[in-house]
Structure 1
């Protein structure tokens, strides 16, 4: 098989995240493999190391219907066809035998073309609903091969033109004579042989048919395929499948005893199993202020795969420290406390396998200038905070007094006419149970990337307002800044940091000084941060759960450029599925462009807002908060 160079996009096309996620769910269902991911490459292919199936960009820039059905046909072939029904052993044997041929690439392309047709027929018989997508596929590709046949024949690409001709013969029938450029090869005999494609049942039969065609053109045809139309992917074609990995190479005698994978599914599951064995959360504890116990990193106990960071070791509140202050308060006002170091593994998405992260607690103390600025903001915000708190309390009071009528028991209603008019009267009512507090919890993620440096103060003001409103309403909330260390990030490790300014457990504690310590750093890995906060919110017992993301652009981190948009959208989808409402506020000094709006909609759906200037961050935050609190108060 011919290897296709990595497809690189030089344009600024938007990523259709919702559709990609839809195709991903379909592929996972067809392959019965929830770990499978979907991406786009030049040709459809497999990437077993990353558990990824690649659709072809061939379907772009067409009508919406053709694009959708064409991509579906790719998914059907990848997940329901080649994935289980393609015989890898037969393919390897055929490829090895064809290496001595004058046209090894042509042989590989013929085999893949025949297998594509065989699997299309097979899938349509067992899954009737796929027929529409495959009909569109045949129609569009037939037009493509007609154009390529003329082009390749004119340029003297005989092997490529032969593939085009035989594709047309299989998919639309031999209704016309072959192209005149094939006068020097036994085309009539080849077309008779290709009719057997309708009877193919196995990969071995396809290989036999392709071999017969190669034997007829071996001497007459000059040159091999120049522009390949089929590929399995670099992992397969470079011979780097799991069955030839480092375990076998460490001892040549073991190579003969190693299991040979017969299907692509086995290759994927083996790679996935290997990845699963490496996953887990491995904690390294260091002796820092605020941690309990007397262990350091060298003597720490080994981590547990099921370990999840639940608390920020604040120490017990019983007793006083040597300063005469409760331990919890001492931690909040002390130096920055570095609590945990963890490896993400595959628990936070496949894009973050090599991410490590540290959780630190921001010191709840700062410089005098920061305290003065904080007091100025709070004095300015005091009227609107009071108004919003009063509004929410009134909503709760109305909710408490609301009646539930038409009950079979309870207090007798003054409206007794139903006892005469209804066959089964329900003349009783009850008052709703008291709701003294909002049954809600909030998580706020603040983008700590370098691009925030020109809007740090405005962001702090918005976060302080957010914190003050929820603190006055006694609503649990957590505020965390997140960023990635771009200077230390590498292919083997991408260090990430969560700087916690306020925790869920600190409901009534004023964390304003900690918020004032927020600073801009380097990169942002949004999908990872959303999953991290969603895990914490998912363990809360409150009825309404909200996750707010304050950021000023698209995700940007090591190896997280284009796939960061899809990964963030997937993280949002996963959080919403757990009952966590994700809301995004775009922090910018100017109105977002149409492209930016489309980008945010792709990642966060319709739950995204923006401000026209940095001065409006606080007012936009208040508007979002009012809507969310109103939902929780219903």
Structure 2
């Protein structure tokens, strides 16, 4: 079990799921959505990425900004970008000056063209694009001022081009002002462009007019990928810049040398201006070293440049900092559900069935104590249910065409088709309903399990007194045995349906103990299968949990998988209710997450001591509804 700690910098899985559904709908194909440093579309992998830039927007516009990325990629790039032309343009950049500026200008102009197409074909996208323009206007204005101060002319020129494109032009300094007419002409022409080829010609024409003495851009705002990944990577036959000095430093592995911890910033005299790149630099001067690296550096949580949310795929192993490697090793989230009937995230789960043992004397004693604590609540609850059942059964059904004649005969004259008869219901004292209680037995339940057993005792005794069949199942995953090939998950059958109403079954509840991890989506699907086979008319599944699902390779997928399990179970006519056990006053995010998973059918209990008090009205409401 992982506690609901929302102080972590993480992407909302339901937000990721919404963006994925949107991308698949617009592209009319199975397409994967991830988060990356830039937004782009990679045709070979059917991958759309959403920029991490939007994660830092906190004014309520975050989702609209993310949607604008999805619109441009899954509706624009997928259907309206000619990637043969993209490949042709990118392949020529190696032999040109200012290649980074040329690439970004091409990508920006193509986005401007695609934005017009998206709004034309889907007018509902206009609000997201207006939000995008508003936020980018502030961003590029601020960045342009920085670039001007640092004499980064092409960076400042790129920002000015975007501001001109959205109708918010800015004054240019004397070094850039000669290009103002060219910018106006290019923006007016790109709005008339009908193809990617037209955009490539405009980008080439403008770039060729630039002074060759201008230094290339230092900041990358947008990017573009072709159909060949090699165009974006350094190839083996590509020329590597050589150091101007041929000096060699000799190193030794003398372990007796004194060491000092000191922070050393990466700097070189050639970097006179502070750049805006994120860990992007090249050194062409210095001395060679005979040090041989021992492999790639392990990824750390703060490595923002390599963050990749993989909500419906595999969790990062911590060493995948190469984007190509991430794509190569990702799970195929689009696999058919027939191959994984219990959920794609549970493909490698090994089921372990466990039955309750014969209760010990200590367990029987503990159960008698628990039973005594809830005895008053159980009796009053059972009495209220029975009275409700009796009232419904003796209440007459009126306005019938046959039966006993009632005394309201005036309707013979006033009604065209009078219903003058009534009947009494046949007596029946048994509710046509069954319950299944699913209990999270993860390690984080260690401080709540005693009170949880008390609440479950209340359920069991009440249902047994009303002769309602039910089951109680604990679930947990063996964290020490779980690996990428197999994840053992135990379903601990504490109370069985067929024996649930027998007099001496209750003490087995005391065998519920906190264990290790929890895979909620899998457990819900398994218990739902058993519920479906029951003959009762009304079926209710109640899940007791104290936080997010957490198991092997399940941290990102867990919430979404549990959400899907709940929805699929409800489609089969089974009511699912989530009961969240909090450590003190629940946070807004905890309440929001429970509602995201279980919808309105969720109950948040502030503390373990209040479990019986909260469960009593819940059980009463459920039973009276089906009485």
Fold agreement, TM-score > 0.5 = yes
| Pick aligned residue for 1:546 from 534, 540, 543 | 540
Matched, 1:449 2:447: no
TM-score, normalised on structure 2? 0.72
Conserved? CA contact 2:41–2:77, under 8 Å: no
**Residues 84, 500 of structure 1: CA spacing in aligned structure 2 closer, same or farther, 3 A cutoff?**
farther
Where does residue 584 of structure 1 map in the other structure?
578
**Following TM superposition, by how much is the alpha carbon of 1:628 offset from its aligned partner in structure 2, in angstroms?**
1.9
Residue 444 of structure 1: SS of its match in structure 2? strand
Structure number with higher helix proportion: 1
**Residues 136, 458 of structure 1: CA spacing in aligned structure 2 closer, same or farther, 3 A cutoff?**
closer
**Following TM superposition, by how much is the alpha carbon of 1:433 offset from its aligned partner in structure 2, in angstroms?**
6.5
TM-score, normalised on structure 1? 0.71
Conserved? CA contact 2:431–2:468, under 8 Å: yes
Matched, 1:512 2:506: yes
1:560-612 per-residue CA deviation (whole Å, 9 max, x = no partner) reads 44554455445445545555443333335644345544444444444443445
Alignment map for 1:321-340 (pairs within 5 Å): none
Counterpart Cα distance in 2 of 1:430 and 1:202: 76
Alignment map for 1:171-186 (pairs within 5 Å): 171-172=166-167, 177-182=171-176, 186=179
**Residues 559, 91 of structure 1: CA spacing in aligned structure 2 closer, same or farther, 3 A cutoff?**
farther
Counterpart Cα distance in 1 of 2:536 and 2:98: 66
**Following TM superposition, by how much is the alpha carbon of 1:418 offset from its aligned partner in structure 2, in angstroms?**
1.6
**Following TM superposition, by how much is the alpha carbon of 1:518 offset from its aligned partner in structure 2, in angstroms?**
1.9
Counterpart Cα distance in 2 of 1:56 and 1:30: 21
**Following TM superposition, by how much is the alpha carbon of 1:114 offset from its aligned partner in structure 2, in angstroms?**
2.1
1:210-267 per-residue CA deviation (whole Å, 9 max, x = no partner) reads 333343348343123423334669x9858999xxxxxxxxxxxxxxxxxxxxxxxxxx
Matched, 1:111 2:106: yes
| Pick aligned residue for 2:90 from 92, 95, 100 | 95
Alignment map for 1:198-347 (pairs within 5 Å): 198-217=191-210, 219-230=212-223, 305=339, 345=340, 347=341
1:526-566 per-residue CA deviation (whole Å, 9 max, x = no partner) reads 34433444454456554433322212223333344455445
Counterpart Cα distance in 1 of 2:48 and 2:342: 17
Matched, 1:523 2:517: yes
Conserved? CA contact 1:444–1:479, under 8 Å: yes
**Following TM superposition, by how much is the alpha carbon of 1:43 offset from its aligned partner in structure 2, in angstroms?**
4.0
Where does residue 276 of structure 2 map in the other structure?
none
Could you list the runs of 5+ residues in structure 1 that have no partner in the other structure? 1-8, 242-269, 281-304, 306-344
Where does residue 148 of structure 1 map in the other structure?
143
Conserved? CA contact 1:464–1:515, under 8 Å: yes
**Following TM superposition, by how much is the alpha carbon of 1:450 offset from its aligned partner in structure 2, in angstroms?**
1.0
**Following TM superposition, by how much is the alpha carbon of 1:389 offset from its aligned partner in structure 2, in angstroms?**
2.6
Residue 539 of structure 2: SS of its match in structure 1? strand
Q: Which has the larger radius of gyration?
A: 2
Matched, 1:168 2:157: no
**Following TM superposition, by how much is the alpha carbon of 1:360 offset from its aligned partner in structure 2, in angstroms?**
0.7
| Pick aligned residue for 2:26 from 24, 30, 38 | 30
**Residues 430, 587 of structure 1: CA spacing in aligned structure 2 closer, same or farther, 3 A cutoff?**
same
Where does residue 625 of structure 2 map in the other structure?
631
Conserved? CA contact 2:538–2:574, under 8 Å: yes
Where does residue 432 of structure 2 map in the other structure?
439
Where does residue 58 of structure 1 map in the other structure?
54
Counterpart Cα distance in 2 of 1:238 and 1:398: 77
**Residues 461, 411 of structure 1: CA spacing in aligned structure 2 closer, same or farther, 3 A cutoff?**
same
Counterpart Cα distance in 1 of 2:562 and 2:198: 44
Structure scoring higher RCO (CA < 8 A, sep ≥ 6) equals: 2
| Pick aligned residue for 2:468 from 461, 471, 475 | 475
1:120-161 per-residue CA deviation (whole Å, 9 max, x = no partner) reads 211221222222332232233223222222222323333433
Could you list the runs of 5+ residues in structure 2 that have no partner in the other structure? 234-327
Matched, 1:126 2:135: no
**Following TM superposition, by how much is the alpha carbon of 1:441 offset from its aligned partner in structure 2, in angstroms?**
2.9
**Following TM superposition, by how much is the alpha carbon of 1:356 offset from its aligned partner in structure 2, in angstroms?**
1.0
Counterpart Cα distance in 2 of 1:588 and 1:477: 25
Where does residue 408 of structure 2 map in the other structure?
415
| Pick aligned residue for 2:388 from 395, 402, 426 | 395
**Residues 30, 408 of structure 1: CA spacing in aligned structure 2 closer, same or farther, 3 A cutoff?**
farther
**Residues 232, 555 of structure 1: CA spacing in aligned structure 2 closer, same or farther, 3 A cutoff?**
farther
Residue 389 of structure 1: SS of its match in structure 2? helix
Residue 199 of structure 1: SS of its match in structure 2? coil
**Residues 525, 89 of structure 1: CA spacing in aligned structure 2 closer, same or farther, 3 A cutoff?**
farther
Conserved? CA contact 2:50–2:66, under 8 Å: no
Conserved? CA contact 2:106–2:199, under 8 Å: yes
**Residues 395, 522 of structure 1: CA spacing in aligned structure 2 closer, same or farther, 3 A cutoff?**
same
Conserved? CA contact 1:591–1:610, under 8 Å: no
**Following TM superposition, by how much is the alpha carbon of 1:57 offset from its aligned partner in structure 2, in angstroms?**
4.6
RMSD: 4.0
Conserved? CA contact 2:110–2:196, under 8 Å: yes
Matched, 1:77 2:41: no
1:179-200 per-residue CA deviation (whole Å, 9 max, x = no partner) reads 54425x7553354234321122
Counterpart Cα distance in 2 of 1:428 and 1:601: 47
Conserved? CA contact 1:170–1:194, under 8 Å: yes
User: How many residue pairs align between the two structures?
Assistant: 527
Conserved? CA contact 2:137–2:163, under 8 Å: yes
Residue 128 of structure 2: SS of its match in structure 1? helix
Conserved? CA contact 1:482–1:499, under 8 Å: yes
